[in-house]
Amino acid sequence: MEKRSWSLRVHRSEGECMRQRLIDEGLLNRSCRIRSEGEYLFIPVTRQVEGTTCEIFPGIPEQKELPRFEQVGGIAIMQDDDPKGAGEILASKASYHTVLYAESAVKGEFRTKSYKVLAGLNTTSTDYIEYGHHFTIDLSHAYFSARLSGERQRILRMMNEGERIIDMFAGVGPFAITLARKASLVFAGDLNPDAIILMIHNIHKNHSRNVVPLLADANHLPDIIPVPADRIIMNLPMQASPFLSAAFRMCRPGGTIHLYALVRSEDELLDLIHQYPVLKVETKFVRSYSPDQFHAVYDITRGDG
Ligand SMILES: C[S@@+](CC[C@H](N)C(=O)[O-])C[C@H]1O[C@@H](n2cnc3c(N)ncnc32)[C@H](O)[C@@H]1O
């Protein structure tokens, strides 16, 4: 069975990164199989976007439509409290061990949600693999989202070998452990003791020997970390701006601060950022969040002063 679909052509080396990005954006057309031609992959997408052409793909036989859910490792997270749908999701793939319903939005300083187990094992913990890195996560105890996996790879590509990194809101360590591959040293701080315990486990699991976990408020890091950093990660999108001053104190002139924020327009934080010594700012759309808000990242090059 063949099917016609909008398609993006990418070089093989960028295939996995693009596939992840399309999944994050809800654009991957799951009814068609990705096709290869020489050095290039043709990835089916659900609608016409910039750079797409119309192509023929091998079709994937129709499967029973499942309710909407997000997958993290062996856990499926549903948007509705739907035990029947949960049972169907659990039965659809052997690797799912638990189906959860998020009973709350992210809340509190630790940015966690509360969950109800709808089907499977009574746990909120799972193992998750991202680009060869292994993470143990526990969704009710420490924040984790797979949606920034593309960002972690983008920053890894931007880095020079031997950089010194500070991750101010490191959670269970996904940025810190990913970037440790190229860094000389990574300081990874978080306020949540459960996140730090999981991070230490993940450091061990990934044999990372250059990540320093710090149980600390991000605003105290300038008094704890003895050396300036080449690159700083600020992933606390709802309230990162009160910590900008600490980030500028820790970043060397010419270094980069990646500030993630929830905004309504790309220039929303530019006035605030320009109150600090800045050489250059580039803003990038990361993903949509609600009808009028999106996740943006400001890549800030620190100036002198
Ligand atoms: C959005 S999560 C990001 C976690 C991680 N970077 C990731 O991508 O999975 C934000 C993290 O910041 C931590 N946090 C919140 N306020 C903090 C503060 N004042 N100082 C240090 N960490 C804080 C929370 O515990 C949470 O783990």
42-73 pLDDT tens trace: 999 999 888 899 999 998 877 678 999 999 99
Q: Is the CB of 255 under 6 A from ligand 1?
A: no
**From the CA of 48, how far away is ligand 1's center (Å)?**
36
Q: Determine which residue's CA is closest to atom 27 belonging to ligand 1.
A: 171
pLDDT tens, residue by residue, 191-220: 999 999 999 999 999 999 999 999 999 999
Domains and CATH numbers, the chain: 2-58 (3.30.70.2580), 69-123 (no CATH), 147-302 (3.40.50.150)
Per cent of the chain over pLDDT 70 is: 100
pLDDT tens, residue by residue, 247-303: 999 999 999 999 999 999 999 999 999 999 999 999 999 988 888 899 999 999 999
Q: Is the CB of 174 under 6 A from ligand 1?
A: yes
ipTM of the complex: 0.98
Q: Is the CB of 276 under 6 A from ligand 1?
A: no
Q: Is the CB of 119 under 6 A from ligand 1?
A: no
**From the CA of 167, how far away is ligand 1's center (Å)?**
9
Pairing label, strands 40-45, 35-37? antiparallel
Select from 122, 113, 116, 114 the least CA-distant residue to 82.
116
* Token output for 202: 């993940």
